[in-house]
Amino acid sequence: MRVTPLTYDFENQATRLMKKTTGLPTTYDTLWFNYCGMGKRISKIEKLNGGSPDTTAYAYDGMYAVLEFGGHLDLQSKYIYANGLLLARYDASPADTHYYHHDGLGSVIGMTNESGSVEQSYFYDEFGNSLGSYGSVTNHYLYTGQEYDGDITSLYNLRARYYDMRMRCVLFSPILKREIDIHMLLIIQ
């Protein structure tokens, strides 16, 4: 089993991931990352199946992304954090507020609206694999409250590294700067 490698810059920050899609003609899903001088990911550009790129830009307060902007720097979402947990998200268009509910690990297990009605529920196994979700709210902060870069990578962004819940380990070591396969991981562990 081979894991698609990330491309790194001179500061060991992941800058690009390409994943070959199934089907003909051959196309690639591509994900690009840009960083500020402090090493925080300030934008993510997704290009699915050779289509048009979709850009998300981030603004930070400390270590947390508190604002998300679309491709033309239009505000998409505001996030509220307290004690290291994501508490609420305000969506700009259409205007809506969602409140996050966590388990003891910090994983998002549900979202409610302003009236307290459940809008979304999440279920995970002990390694973060989804056991199902119910509801219609889109959300990319899931297991342990980390950002899920799902469409292309199926990985959790842990800032300096990526977590693969299927392999139950942190992947893509910028120190090794190479593809990691399952046999190498077994030796390392």
- Inside any domain, residue 109: yes
Q: Indicate whether 84 belongs to any domain.
A: yes
* Residue 150 placed within a domain: yes
- Residue 86: the pLDDT is 95
**Domain enclosing residue 85, as ranges:** 6-188
What DSSP string describes 10-48?
TTS-EEEEEEEPSSSS--EEEEEEEE-TTS-EEEEEEE-
Specify the pLDDT at position 129. 87
Please tell me the predicted confidence (pLDDT) of residue 157: 79
Could you tell me which of 188, 178, 159, 168 has the C-alpha nearest to residue 13? Answer: 159
Measured CA to CA, the distance from residue 143 to residue 102 in angstroms comes to 9
User: In terms of C-beta density within 10 A (0-12 exposed, 13-18 middle, 19 or more buried), how is residue 108 classed?
Assistant: buried
Whether residue 156 is contained in a domain is answered as yes
Number of domains, the chain: 1
The predicted pLDDT at position 111 comes to 97
- How confident is the prediction along the chain (189 residues), in pLDDT tens digits per residue? 334 567 888 887 888 888 877 766 777 888 899 999 888 889 999 888 778 888 999 999 988 999 999 988 899 999 999 998 999 999 998 889 999 999 999 999 999 999 999 999 999 998 888 899 999 999 999 999 998 887 677 788 777 677 777 766 665 554 444 444 444 444 444
Residue 1 lies in a domain: no
